[in-house]
Amino acid sequence: MPALMRRQDPSAAVSRSNSPSGNRASLDASPAIAARSGMRAAALHIWRAQWFVVIRAFAVFIALWGLAAYLVASPLQLPSPGKVFSAMVGLAEKGELLSHTLISASRLAVALGVATVIAVPLGFAMALSRELNAYIDPIVELLRPISGIAWIPLGLFIFGVGGTLPVFIMAYVAFFPLLLNTVDGVRGIDRKLLAAAETMGVGPRARMLHVVLPASMPSVMVGFRIAFASAWAAIIAAELIGSPSGLGFAIEWYRQLLMSPKVFSFIVLIGAVGYLCDLVLRALQRKLTPWSEGMGIGA
């Protein structure tokens, strides 16, 4: 009986069909022309490369910024890129960049930790028990529209000015996306996967551990990324209004001192830290849940 299954798997076939010599049509024989075309090909390759597009975009942006600063000619309102850069260097040397970043970041870590520890198990419980959901969901939905920001005045009264307020606000803000995404993740599990496990004689506890948990991981990770982004935005507000330290405090502090380049420096830092953390989270998401297609946040 011919072994039909012995053919190579499709992925191997696809890679074999790609021409190893690349996509460019073969060029003329003349070495001089070939050399010039080779250089042009290389230059074109760089021009199209991902990293170059990014650098180019930033270069243009900074150039336009410089131009605008020159035209506006108001160093208070729009400092030039050069001034901002030297302010950044100065702040870095004095260690201020690092200290404020660490303060904000550590608050964020604590807040996310607290939110995860409460929201994820609760989310699982609510998704698995209709009873529990009926009692808890209403109060979640009542509190959700009240943004974390609205809690700041009351929070200031309860916690006073300091580090606890930002942590509380951030934990509150991070809680909801984590909870909702966890519940969605568990509810959205393909029923067939559970049925398949049942038909293999897998008991309820094993099903929980080995089917429900992994299957809901992608949703939980998305929830975590959303929670992070929301918390990172909320910390600025919380620190700006009610904290004597951190990045949010710093931008307000230097504004009051009318030191614009430093204000801008910290704003750039806020963006950079947020962006880097999101990259890390994306990589984590890819590592932990390589099979999930929807990687974008969506909002």
Partner 1 sequence: MTVSQLHSKSAPKLRLKGVSKEFIAPRTGQRTLAVTDFNMDVQAGEFICVVGPSGCGKSTVMNMIAGLDTPTTGSIEMDGAKIQGPGAERGVMFQDYALFPWKTVRDNVGFGLRHGTAGRGLTSAESEDRINHFVELVGLKAAEGKFPHQLSGGMRQRVALARLLANGPDVLLMDEPLGALDAQTRLLLQVELLRIWGETGDAGDRKTVVFITHGIDEAVFLADRVVVMSSHPGRVSAVIDIDIPRPRGEHIRSEARFGQLTEEIWSLIRDEAYRAIA
Partner 2 sequence: MSTQATNTISTAALPAWVKAITLPLILTLIWQAWAMTLPENSPAPAPLKVVESFIALTASGELIWATIQSLGRVLGGFGIAMVGGLGLGVLMGSSRVVRENLDPIVESFRPIAPMAILPIAILWFGTGTPAALTIVAYAAFFPLLINTIYGVSGVDRQLVRAAATMGISRLRTVFVVIVPAAIPSVLLGSRLAMGVAWTAIIAAELAVGAKSGGGTSGGIGQMMFVFYAYSIDLNGIVVCMIVVGVVALMIDRLFRLAERFLLPWRN
Residues binding partner 1 (CB under 8 A):
1, 3-6, 8-12, 190, 192-193, 195-203, 206, 210-211, 214-215, 217, 289-293
Contact (CB, 8 A) for 66 and 251? no
Q: Is 234 in the site for partner 2 (CB under 8 A)?
A: yes
Q: What x/- string results for residues 139 through 178 when contact with partner 2 is judged by CB under 8 A? A: x--xx-xxx-xxxxxx-xx---------------------
Contact (CB, 8 A) for 77 and 260? yes
Pick one of 105, 114, 213, 233: the residue that binds partner 2 (CB under 8 A). Answer: 233
Of 48 and 192, CB closest to partner 1: 192
Q: Is 53 in the site for partner 2 (CB under 8 A)?
A: yes
Q: Is 108 in the site for partner 2 (CB under 8 A)?
A: no
Question: Which partner in partner 2, partner 1, none is near 180 (CB below 5 to 8 A by kind)?
Answer: none
Using CA atoms, how far residue 138 sits from 54, 120, 183, 184, 218, in Å, is 46, 18, 14, 16, 25
Q: What share of the chain is helix, strand, coil (3-state, %, to 5)?
A: 80, 0, 20
Spatial separation of the C-alpha atoms in residues 61 and 55, rounded to whole Å: 10
Spatial separation of the C-alpha atoms in residues 218 and 199, rounded to whole Å: 25
Pick one of 63, 117, 134, 280: the residue that binds partner 2 (CB under 8 A). Answer: 134
Question: Which partner in partner 1, partner 2, none is near 251 (CB below 5 to 8 A by kind)?
Answer: partner 2
Instruction: Quote the least distance from Cβ 290 to partner 1, whole Å.
Output: 7
Torsion of CA 258, 263, 234, 294, to 10 degrees: 150
Of 93 and 293, CB closest to partner 1: 293
Instruction: Quote the least distance from Cβ 278 to partner 1, whole Å.
Output: 23
The count of other CB atoms within 10 Å of the CB of residue 64 is: 11
Half-sphere CA count of 114, side-chain side, radius 13 A: 16
Picking from 254, 205, 230, 224, the residue whose alpha carbon sits closest to that of residue 100 is: 254
Q: Which stretch binds partner 2 (CB under 8 A): 13-21, 36-44, 236-244, 283-291?
A: 236-244
Spatial separation of the C-alpha atoms in residues 184 and 284, rounded to whole Å: 20
Residues that bind partner 2 (CB under 8 A): 53-54, 56-58, 60-61, 76-77, 128, 131, 134-139, 142-143, 145-147, 149-154, 156-157, 194, 204, 229, 232-237, 240-241, 248, 251-252, 254-255, 258, 260, 263-264, 267, 270-275, 277-278, 299
